[in-house]
Amino acid sequence: MKLYYAPGTCSLASHIVLREAGLDFTMDKVDIATKRSAEGKDFLAISPNGYVPALEIEPGLVLTEGPAILQLLADRVPGAQLAPPSGTLERYQLQSWLNFITSEIHKAFSPLFKPQMPADAKALFVEQLGQRFDVLERHLARNDYLMGERYSIADAYLFVVTNWAGYLGISLDKWTALNGFRARVAARPAVQAAMAAEGLKAA
C-alpha cells in the first residue's frame, strides 16, 4: 500500500494508523500547491480532488476520503482493535465520531489556513470550534478515548485535527480534558514515529 500525504495535514491520521496496525506501506509526499508528488506523479491523476490522503491499495486501485481510509486500514488488521467490527452498534458509534470530526472540526479548521479568508469569517469558525470542543471536553472528562476505554482510529484523527490549533496560535488550555486526551495520544509510539517521519515536532 502507498499513502499519498502532506506533512502535518489530515493524512497524518492515516499515517499513524498504518503504523498502529503494523501494516507494510510506502509513502509519496504530495505538494498540495503544485499537485505533484515527490516521486514525480501528477497527483490529480491519482486523486481528482487534489487533496490528501489518498491510499493506493494496489497499483491502479486508489481509495480517497480520510474516514474511509482509516476504516479500511483498521479492518485489514482486526487484531489491532482499532475499530469495532462492521455491523455492530459500536461501529456505527465510531462512524458517528468520524463524521463529527470530519464535518464539524476538520472542515471548520480548513478556512483558518486560507490567507484570503476575512478575519470576521475566521472568528466565526473559531467560535464554532470552541462549541464543539466544549462537547468533546465533557465526553473526554468521563472517557479516556472517544470510544471509551479503547483507543481507535477516531482518536488518531481527532489528535491530528486538534494539533492544528497550535499551528494557528489557538490556545486549547481551557479544555483540560481534551488536552489530557491529546497527551495520551501523543505519547503513543506510532504517533511519535509518524510525526518524526513527517518532520514534525512532537505535540
Ligand X SMILES: N[C@@H](CCC(=O)N[C@@H](CS)C(=O)NCC(=O)O)C(=O)O
Contact 43, 37 (CB under 8 A): yes
Number of residues that make up the chain: 203
Reported as type and span, the H/E element at residue 27 is strand 26-31
Please, which residue, 53 or 84, has the CB nearer to ligand X?
53
Please, which residue, 177 or 203, has the CB nearer to ligand X?
203
Instruction: Quote the longest CA-to-CA distance of the chain.
Output: 47
Please, which residue, 115 or 189, has the CB nearer to ligand X?
115
Please, which residue, 177 or 197, has the CB nearer to ligand X?
197
Q: In the complex, which residues of this chain contact ligand X (CB under 6 A)?
A: 6, 9-10, 32, 50-53, 65-66, 102, 110
**Residue in this structure with the C-alpha cell 462537547, named with its chain if needed:** 135
Residue at shortest CB range from ligand X:
51
Q: How far apart are the two ends of the chain, measured CA to CA in Å? A: 27
Please, which residue, 81 or 95, has the CB nearer to ligand X?
95
**Least Cβ distance, residue 53 to ligand X (angstroms):** 6
CA atoms within 13 A on the CB side of 3: 28
**Least Cβ distance, residue 107 to ligand X (angstroms):** 7
**Least Cβ distance, residue 108 to ligand X (angstroms):** 12
**Least Cβ distance, residue 142 to ligand X (angstroms):** 28
Q: Kindly report whether the peptide bond that precedes residue 115 is cis, defined as omega within 30 degrees of 0.
A: no
β-pairing, 36-37 vs 26-31, is antiparallel
**Least Cβ distance, residue 54 to ligand X (angstroms):** 8
Class of residue 49 by CB neighbours under 10 A (exposed 0-12, middle 13-18, buried 19+): exposed
